[in-house]
Amino acid sequence: MSDQNYRLLYCSRNEIHGAVAQVSEAVQQILVSARLNNSRFGITGALLFNEGLFAQWLEGPRDAVVKAFEAISRDPRHSNVMVLESGMQGGRRFPDWSMAFASPSDRPSFESIAPVFEEAFANAPMGAQGILTLLHRILTV
């Protein structure tokens, strides 16, 4: 069995509307579904959420990652879905999580992550590195 995995990093704009509690509940529902499906298909990764924006790193078998991303792309809770990085990789960056989750509310001392997202939309290669760095910083604090 190969240690090669397919990876895909995307960002999108959040189309979940409502009060903070409603948005939070909808994001929690996304996480429950993602964790169940990802475990079933051998996908690991991390989701970063900042009120109006999502970024997600998916890794695992190529067909499973592509299928998951296609479903996300069609999901009306996302708009302006943009792939920042994809391709084969050795090993996994987030091997312990079917879907890790990070948001500013997890780390109140974190500076605003909005500029990192805006960089991702403006300059995908630089934005991809910024989002990965931010995910690792938040998830390993």
- Cα–Cα separations (whole angstroms), residue 98 to 13, 16, 71, 111, 125: 22, 23, 17, 26, 25
* Angstrom distance (rounded) from CA 115 to CA 127: 10
Q: How far apart are the first and last CA of the chain?
A: 33
Q: What percent of the chain has pLDDT over 70?
A: 89
- Grouping H, G, I as helix, E, B as strand and the rest as coil, residue 113 is coil
Q: Which residue has the tokens 């579904």?
A: 33
Can you read off the two tokens belonging to residue 17?
A: 């509307």
pLDDT per residue as tens digits for the range 74-85:
999 999 999 999
For the chain, the domain total comes to 1
Backbone dihedral angles phi then psi of residue 99, each to the nearest 5 degrees: -170, 95
Backbone dihedral angles phi then psi of residue 22, each to the nearest 5 degrees: -65, -45
Structural domain containing residue 125: 4-139
pLDDT per residue as tens digits for the range 90-122:
889 888 888 888 776 655 444 556 677 777 777
Q: Which of 64, 29, 63 is nearest to 47 (CA)?
A: 29
Instruction: Identify whether the C-beta of residue 22 lies closer than 8 Å to the C-beta of residue 91.
Output: no
Q: Which of 58, 24, 56 is nearest to 38 (CA)?
A: 58
pTM: 0.85
